[in-house]
Amino acid sequence: MCRTGGVPDPAGDEASTHAAFTALLEDSAEDLYESAPCGFLSTMMDGTIAKINHTLLDWLGLDRRAVIGRMRFTDLLTVGGRLYHETHFAPLLRMQGELRGIALEMKRRGGGRLPVLVSAVIKHGVGGEPLLIRITVLDASDRRAYEEELLRRRQEAERSRAEAERARAEADEARRQAEADRARLADALAVLQRSLVPDSLPAVPGLETAVYYHAASPDQLGGDFYDLFPVAGDRWAFFLGDVCGKGPEAASLTSLTRYTLRAAAHHDPDPAAALATLNAVLHERYTAGGNPRYCTCVFGIVEPGRGQGPTTVRLASGGHPPALVLRADGRAEFLPTPGGMLVGVLPGAPIGTAQTVLADGDTIVLYTDGLTEARTGPGRDDLFGEDALRAFAAEHAPAAPHEVITALTGLLKRFGDGLGDDTALLALGAPATPSPAHPARTS
């Protein structure tokens, strides 16, 4: 009905809506049972199916005539479902009279499986005797898929966690192995390094000695070397130097250099002759073959005075920094060896020579360029240099060899990370004459 002017009558709309709901509610109970969104079936107490709705038949792909009175509820279940029914479902139902939301699997025509949630209740007669079992079946496919997805994600997470833990364990083991390998390498390198430079110097009558070696890296062989050994008469040969490079090749060159100088000194103890022999050997072995290898070196012969005269020192140098002499009167001066060239570069490389006398209390110091080329300053942009070294020595003169080496060792430590190269120090000194007022103590 409409009002004047074509406007709909509200009373008419309400009547139409009520009529529509009434039509919906006129479905029969049988239609609701057969077309319900869940499965329904009723069985006898022995499980024989007495009634089943169309929804469940459609899910399972079964014909009603093949089911009613011919199949039991357990016939609709998978093997696993039947086992669970016999061991859990049926006993609990008999004891409790009802069950809610039990997960089972039902068979589909063609071999498929339908995951379901089953609820069951026993209907009793007037006298309380059980008559039949009413069962409701809900399709749990989506829930099962969701649960399987959750399980899969959890398993993936557990695998990822296990893989992460395994990777962490492998990384820890690799780190421990690397540390062990590094320790073994450091031990091996230390042993090899000791074979290239002596741990201590021999006792020399009438001469005081001290030595120190700083390795820039415990993982790499250095190229600095030194030695002190007797030659003919009361003379002692000594040398200190630095080969090019680091690692195994430097170690090989160091070994060749040390043994060549030792052999040359026993053959001819003249310092220049010893370095000339070393130059010829290195040039023939390396440079002439297209693989130039060289070193800087100071070689010397010292004849201790033993209190009966001055101690004389003769030096020859091949491109090495000048020796430093700390005098007993407090002076510090370099002993230049001009003209000396790197050993091994040219077949007849020039060699610089020098000679000095050590009075009682004088000390001569040999060093490698790791000392003078140490980086200093806030930005590590400056080299320590020879002038600073001479000033440092003057502050400590006069000093016995072990005192000089102790002071220089402290200086090296103060350089910190500015000391980037190996450094070898060797000091030889004529013992100071004891003052009459302070005679030497005896043990």
- Find out whether 363 and 325 touch, Cβ atoms under 8 Å: yes
Q: Check the CA dihedral 390-391-392-397 and report its sign.
A: positive
Contacts of 109 (CB under 8 A, 6+ apart): 60, 61, 62
d(CA 121, CA 106): 19
DSSP assignments along 218-279, one per residue:
TTS---EEEEEEE-STT-EEEEEEEESS-SHHHHHHHHHHHHHHHHHHHH---HHHHHHHHH
Length of the chain: 443
- What average pLDDT does this structure show over 398-404? 97
Per-residue pLDDT at 437: 42
The answer as to whether 28 is a domain residue is: no
Weakest-pLDDT range from 180-184, 339-343, 390-394: 180-184
* Domain assignment present for 149: yes
Can you read off the two tokens belonging to residue 422? 């190996």
CATH number of 246's domain: 3.60.40.10
- Residues 310-321 have a mean pLDDT of 96
Under 8 Å CB-to-CB from 411, ≥6 apart: which residues? 371, 392
Judge whether residue 442 has pLDDT over 60: no
pLDDT in tens, 33-54: 999 999 999 999 999 999 999 9
What type of residue is 120?
A
* Residues 78-93 pLDDT 10s: 999 999 999 999 999 9
| pLDDT for the residue 42 | 95
Q: Which domain holds residue 59?
A: 35-139
- Contact between residue 54 and residue 38 where contact means Cβ atoms under 8 Å apart: no
Radius of gyration of the chain (CA): 51
Q: Would 101 be classed as within a structural domain? A: yes
- pLDDT, residue 287, reads 87
pLDDT classification of 377: cutoffs 50, 70, 90:
confident
Q: Estimate to the nearest angstrom the gap between the alpha carbon of 17 and the chain centroid.
A: 78
Under the banding of pLDDT at 50, 70 and 90, the label for residue 178 is: confident
Please report the pLDDT score of residue 330 as a whole number.
95
Is 24 part of a structural domain of the chain?
no
- Tell me, what's the pLDDT at 3? 53
Instruction: Tell me which of 196, 222, 242 is where a domain ends.
Output: 196
Number of domains composing the chain = 3
Minimal CA–CA distance to 240: which of 385, 346, 343? Answer: 343
CB atoms within 10 A of CB 109: 9
Q: Does 148 lie in the same domain as 100?
A: no
pLDDT of residue 198: 81
Asked whether the predicted pLDDT for residue 186 surpasses 70, the reply is: no
300 touches 271 (CB < 8 A) = yes
